[in-house]
Amino acid sequence: MLAEHLGKGQRIDIKPELEFYFLSPDAGPADDAGYLDVYPRDEMPQHMDRLYRTLKAMKIPVERVHHENGPGQVEAELDFAPILAQADHLFAAKAAVRAIAHQAGLRASFLPKPFAGIAGSGMHIHLRLFEGERNLFGAGPGELSETAKHFAAGLLAHAPALTAVCNPSVNSYKRLVPGQEAPVYICWGERNRSALVRVPLFTDPAKAAIEFRSPDATANFYLALAALVSAGMDGVRRKAAPPEPRSEDVYALSPADLERLGIAPLPGNLGEALDALERDEVVLEALGEQVAPRFLDLHRAAWDEYLHQAVTDWELEAYGEL
């Protein structure tokens, strides 16, 4: 399926940033540290070091493993690799994380929002398009090519449907809220962490990349990556033009500003995302004629169960005395 969307001699390489929590036996965060903290505040260096060494031994191209913003939160950054190989790496990396947590008497959680009020766990995806050994996304030092802009336009155009595939759990939408360092609005910008599509800093055109910031690790990696490639390459085929890049903090824009600039929000829940997916022929085609209906049915059933059958702790606390 992926080859159908790429030109002769082309390939997509991706770099994922896999975030998760190490939890103590009582299901709380395993330490009280924050971003890049060190011992003794950060009590998990041995687990992170073991994970790094394990991934290396598994031939998974890990760049670094470090403490993230939340207490007990860790990020494993993998280096660029071809897209199908990287999907295999992500699947194996999740298993390695869980095994290391178990051996340490801990638990691992890839839930996008395991705790209210602290950082959620995402899986930012950096993408590069190659033809032979030439990166087609770089035009000059710090300058994106027209191909890269078309690719970004494709991601933005299909963002609502992509959300259903890249954020397929009910819990995913408790991470995708304003003020939580997760994307909420469909826009792009250079080095702008409030945008859905971000262009990381680069000086060498060979290292130009586009980052899609909404996914999380509850996604099926194979389906999510196939959908991202299809959406981006649809923009390339159509020579789609992206909107003006945003440099400001998009979270700080008023509703009137967002409407004036034509910046729409991502779907606010799984049901809205599935509605968008059902209307998007490009992303449905990426899933395949056999998988797409089954994907929709399974996730519609989960959304319906959450809405009409699940009784949450919040409901018991808020309404239990009525």
pLDDT in tens, 88-145: 999 999 999 999 999 999 999 999 999 998 999 999 999 999 999 999 999 999 999 9
pLDDT score at 129: 97
Strand partners, 197: 188, 212
**Under-70 pLDDT residues of the chain:** 1-5
Residue ranges per domain, the chain?
A: 10-303
**pLDDT of res. 47:** 96
**Nearest-angstrom CA–CA distance, 228 and 234:** 10
pLDDT score at 3: 56
Q: In sequence order, which residues have a C-beta less than 8 Å from that of residue 294 and are 6 or more positions away?
A: none
pLDDT on residue 38: 85
Q: Quote the pLDDT of residue 1.
A: 54
Query: Rounded to the nearest 5°, which phi and psi values hold at 177?
Result: -130, 155
State CA 287 to chain mean position distance: 17
Q: Rounded to whole angstroms, how far apart are CA atoms 310 and 142?
A: 49
Structure tokens at 247: 């440099």
DSSP letter at 8 equals T
Answer for the pair 165, 277: CB distance below 8 angstroms, yes or no. Answer: yes
What is the architecture of the domain spanning 10-303?
2-Layer Sandwich (3.30)
Question: For position 320, what pLDDT does the model report?
Answer: 86
